[in-house]
Structure 1
Amino acid sequence: LTLTLSFYLMIPLRLYSENRKRYELEKENKTLIEVEEMKTNFLQLVTHDLKTPVAKIQGLTEHLKRSLADKLLPKDLELMNHIFSANEDLNQFITSLLELTKLDNQGICVKLQSKDLNQLLETIVIKHRFAAQAKQILVKTEFEPLFPIRMDSELISKVLSNLIDNAIKYSPENTVVCLITREVDEYIEVIIQDEGIGIPQADMQNLFSRFYRVKNDTTIKVKGTGLGLYLSRYFIEAHQGTITVDSIPDKGTRFTIRLRMNLQDTDLVQPGLRILPFNKVSETKGNTNYA
């Protein structure tokens, strides 16, 4: 009789305990969602409000440099260039945060159009020519003749521009950044290879993580958001493509992008694909078979 009573008494106690745990989990989850929404709204508000004054500073600095070019002393011109450069870094940071909050809230729409990848790369190289010349870095192109492929040129441009910018920033003076395009099976490969500082093996697994930056004596001097590679992988995988990295410390780094040649709207989840951000880190390679 005692055992029977104990059994029947334990049932409501167990149900009460399970319901209480479920309630606490739901409450905790609701709180986390509210905190996440507050954080996102705050970031959107702050970054949006910062965009206008930053643009004004940039415009005024450019105007002063042009209008006072013959009156500025070398030290004044150098100071003006520092202001312009710092403002550029801030603008890039704000843009990355806006992009990130937009992705977190809305996902992304991939709008496929037929584009010439080689022409796209040539346009991007021109934009980075001044930065390369300032460090006497030769940007070498080895483009295989290619047929146009379907892609979202705006998203792919952001990826390529970020990788070329990184290759220049993290390479010493008098080195070479090599850009290669080629057809491999059903894919187009784009390779961005530099002779820079390289990436330690310990950092490879986190390289595409949100806000992650490799920390050493060189990278600490270079401004960055830690979002460039995260967003790059996001945009490439939205095209059903891949991005991998090979690196040897003190010798250089090579990023390889593979894009499908025959990508169609039907290959996406739906035309105008909406993909939610991911937290999982893609596997990267540590191949050391190149010089």
Structure 2
Amino acid sequence: MDVVAKFQAERDVKTILVVDDEAVIRDLCARALKGYRVLQAADGEEALRLFEKGGVDVILTDVMMPKINGIELLRRLKDLEPTIVVIVMTGYAEKEIILNALKADADDFITKPLNILQLKTAVDKALDKKALKEELANLKSMDRLKSNFLSLISHKFRTPITAISLFLQNLASGVCDPDDPDSRENLKLICGQSRYLENLVAELLVFSRFLAAGEELHLEPCSLPEIIRPLVASSKEATAKPGVVASFDLEQLSPLSLDREKIAFAIGQVIDNAFKFSRETGTVSFSLREDNVACRLTVEDEGIGIPKEELPKIFEKFYQVDLEGAGQIRGFGLGLFYAREFVKLHGGTITVESEPEKGTRVTVLLPLHSSITP
């Protein structure tokens, strides 16, 4: 099996998270669910930490557990991801427990002591249900996304087109004098608006190419330091902030098997945002490290930061942080959305920590299972 086929096969394996404070129950479930990737958690808090790392398809949870019980865990999981499928395992037949679980949107129940055949059947049904949920959610969001996108494009193009149109009308009517300093300044502004339109069209072409490619990966050996440094050097946002210094602390790691274009795009978005939201002076620090399971890229700036309430939204389609409330943020708000999607396609994660006026730290984790032996 070649590298691409092997990686695709690994991505297709479904992940089941088993949550129970009894190790013997967790081990029994793991043995019964051969063919799946099984994660284990001894309580609700540990389960949430594992779930937030991403990649979990179905959760099997006990009800009576320390710290966070199964019903509260169920509620929190549904808040985080409404399409997640949760199977509740319980040895209790009280109607109140069943009703509370149903109110929290439990998808199925398994009674203890566990029956292996029942367990496997319930998980198979849960995966089918998850696929249907996700398909329904996608269908419902399609019309909304199309409407939002058309509205966004109209808004983004209207301002520069109006400015250019007014200038051309004045030019045609003889109002503009080439020797007038105000006219020359207006001409400079119109040239800037034209370049902005050109960049918008270029962005649209890039995003349309990503949409056409879908989840297809073209893997090749890649050195992350050799990707990061040129991206910083070519970043327009970095060029626009000459007072912001880039600081590098990059380990020379083994090459990883990556889709170069997609990973470069993802890292490029992180780099651009770090400089974009920096002040006129400061430092953007880049750290690249390798541990036992993952390669960790950390990009940290000293900029204006992001309010806590905005953080959950920054990876949504079309969302843009507009701290001044002016509604004039450039771009389409798709960069970080695709950045996260591309990192997820490689089995990795991207997380953001930030505080207003204290800067932002973005961490990209890429698993070492995609590393290539030289």
TM-score if structure 2 supplies the norm length?
A: 0.48
Deviations 1:137-188 (A, max 9, x none): 1011110121111101111111111111111111111111111111022211
Matched residue, 1:182 = 289
Per-residue deviation at 1:83?
Answer: 4.6
Identify which of 260, 265, 283 aligns with 2:367. 260
1:145 aligns with 2:145: no
1:226 aligns with 2:226: no
Structure 2 distance, partners of 1:91, 1:216, is 25
1:248 aligns with 2:355: yes
Structure 1 distance, partners of 2:208, 2:199, is 14
Structure 1 distance, partners of 2:217, 2:180, is 49
Q: 2:241 touches 2:275 (CA, 8 Å); kept in 1? A: no
For residues 73 and 161 of structure 1, do their structure 2 counterparts lie closer, same or farther at Cα, with a shift above 3 Å needed? farther
Structure 2 distance, partners of 1:75, 1:182, is 53
Q: Secondary structure at the match of 1:157?
A: helix
1:171 aligns with 2:278: yes
Structure 1 distance, partners of 2:268, 2:242, is 17
Structure 1 distance, partners of 2:210, 2:284, is 31
Per-residue deviation at 1:207?
Answer: 1.2
1:118 aligns with 2:225: yes
Q: Secondary structure at the match of 2:336?
A: helix
Structure 2 distance, partners of 1:74, 1:182, is 53
Per-residue deviation at 1:84?
Answer: 5.2
Matched residue, 2:304 = 197
Bigger mean CA deviation after superposition, 159-168 or 219-228:
219-228
Q: 1:138 touches 1:175 (CA, 8 Å); kept in 2? A: yes
Structure 2: gaps (5+ residues): 1-135, 162-178
Q: 1:116 touches 1:149 (CA, 8 Å); kept in 2? A: yes
Per-residue deviation at 1:224?
Answer: 2.7
Structure 2 distance, partners of 1:86, 1:184, is 46
**% identical aligned pairs:** 31
Q: Which has the higher strand share?
A: 2
For residues 87 and 115 of structure 1, do their structure 2 counterparts lie closer, same or farther at Cα, with a shift above 3 Å needed? farther
Structure 2 distance, partners of 1:125, 1:223, is 20
Q: 2:295 touches 2:365 (CA, 8 Å); kept in 1? A: yes
Matched residue, 1:24 = none
Deviations 1:181-226 (A, max 9, x none): 1102221111111111111011111110000112221885542311
Structure 1 distance, partners of 2:230, 2:212, is 31
1:161 aligns with 2:268: yes
Structure 1 distance, partners of 2:184, 2:364, is 40
Count of residues paired in the alignment: 211
Structure 1 distance, partners of 2:253, 2:267, is 17
Structure 1 distance, partners of 2:298, 2:256, is 17
Q: Secondary structure at the match of 2:269?
A: helix
Per-residue deviation at 1:129?
Answer: 7.2
Per-residue deviation at 1:262?
Answer: 2.2
Q: 1:135 touches 1:172 (CA, 8 Å); kept in 2? A: no
Q: Secondary structure at the match of 1:231?
A: helix
- Amino acid aligned to 1:213: Q
Structure 2 distance, partners of 1:240, 1:104, is 19
Q: Which runs of structure 2 are paired with 1:90-129 in the superposition (5 Å)?
A: 90-104=197-211, 107-128=214-235
TM-score if structure 1 supplies the norm length?
A: 0.60
